[in-house]
Amino acid sequence: MNVDLDDSSATMLLRSWFNIPRLYPGAHVNVYVSPSGVGWHVRTDRKVNNFEYLVSQALLWADPVRTQYLIRKMVQNPEENHLDLMFTEKQGKAETPVPLREILAKYEKEVSEINQNLDREDHEAADKQVRELAKKIEPDLDKYHKGNFVGCIAFNGADLKENVVKVLMDIADKHPEFKWRLYPVWFPEYEYLVAIFSDSKDNAWKKLVWVKQNLYKTDEKGAKVFLLKEANTRMFVKERKNT
């Protein structure tokens, strides 16, 4: 049984870590940074059926959207045997082992108190202590995260969105290392946001500027029509904390 956490939060990781032994006593647990370099892969040696797996995802803070997708997958195919599927490598990038057990060994008192509160079912006190412990171990965990930054460009217009998406899809087909997503946004002045992912702040900004200045479609006469160059946009780069 495995848990895929799409958030780099140390608190989310610890919530899973402390509760797995209560769901599956004796299970051996290992932690990895996911191939994306952002989230966590929590791996156990416990074998479970599909129903137990789905219940565990709900109880161990796995991504709710993915869990919903897996429920649909199981309903559509009751014989599905691959719900608990977690990739150790994606696009040439591998998981990074995280020695969480050794990191927590420095906080024996805090770990003991959290387990005592969980045993007493004082979940409010335990969660408060988990959040406090998460702050203490974040510097140790950060050593295992890879650089992940996202360049964002917000704009307006449904027609523009369709053209931007088409061109970005074409680029990604030709260059699989080019990773991007489009999101609806609720900024007062913008409707859509393109996110372009990179391994450094500088590279994310360079990609973002390139998209702003060079993204174009070809009109019926074969001329280039630049999509975002003259458009009203908002651009920024930030560190990526979730997937």
Cα–Cα distance, 129 to 11 (Å, whole number): 10
Are 199 and 154 a contacting pair, CB within 8 Å?
no
Q: Please state, as a whole number, how many other Cβ atoms lie within 10 Å of the Cβ of residue 175.
A: 9
Cα–Cα distance, 153 to 162 (Å, whole number): 15
> What band does 69 get if pLDDT is binned at 50, 70 and 90?
confident
Longest dimension (CA), the chain: 74
pLDDT of residue 241: 63
DSSP designation for 146: P
Give the structural domain span for 75: 2-142
Q: Please state, as a whole number, how many other Cβ atoms lie within 10 Å of the Cβ of residue 32.
A: 20
For 106-137, what is each residue's pLDDT tens digit?
A: 999 999 999 999 999 999 999 999 999 999 99
The predicted model scores a pTM of 0.68
Which residue in 67, 160, 140, 136 sits closest to 99, CA to CA? 140
Final residue in a domain of this structure, among 84, 115, 142 = 142
CATH code of the domain covering residue 162: 3.30.70
Both 205 and 161 in one domain: the answer is: yes
Cα–Cα distance, 142 to 149 (Å, whole number): 14
Looking from the CA of 84 toward its CB, the CA atoms found within 13 Å total 19
Final residue in a domain of this structure, among 121, 142, 163 = 142
Both 222 and 124 in one domain: the answer is: no
Both 167 and 128 in one domain: the answer is: no
Which residue in 149, 151, 164, 171 sits closest to 216, CA to CA? 164
Both 164 and 96 in one domain: the answer is: no
Cα–Cα distance, 48 to 55 (Å, whole number): 10
What percent of the chain is modeled with pLDDT above 90?
A: 60
Both 105 and 216 in one domain: the answer is: no
Show the beta-strand stretches assigned E in 40-171: 40-44, 89-90, 93-94, 96-98, 149-155
Both 136 and 195 in one domain: the answer is: no
Both 76 and 108 in one domain: the answer is: yes
Both 162 and 113 in one domain: the answer is: no
Overall domain count for the chain: 2
Both 138 and 163 in one domain: the answer is: no
Final residue in a domain of this structure, among 111, 142, 173 = 142
Are 8 and 145 a contacting pair, CB within 8 Å?
yes
Both 90 and 186 in one domain: the answer is: no
Output the average pLDDT for the chain: 89
Are 156 and 232 a contacting pair, CB within 8 Å?
yes
For 203-243, what is each residue's pLDDT tens digit?
A: 999 999 999 999 999 988 889 999 999 999 999 999 876 55
Integer CA distances (angstroms), 167 to 87, 172, 173, in order: 29, 9, 10
**3-class SS at 189?**
coil
> What band does 181 get if pLDDT is binned at 50, 70 and 90?
confident
Both 138 and 211 in one domain: the answer is: no
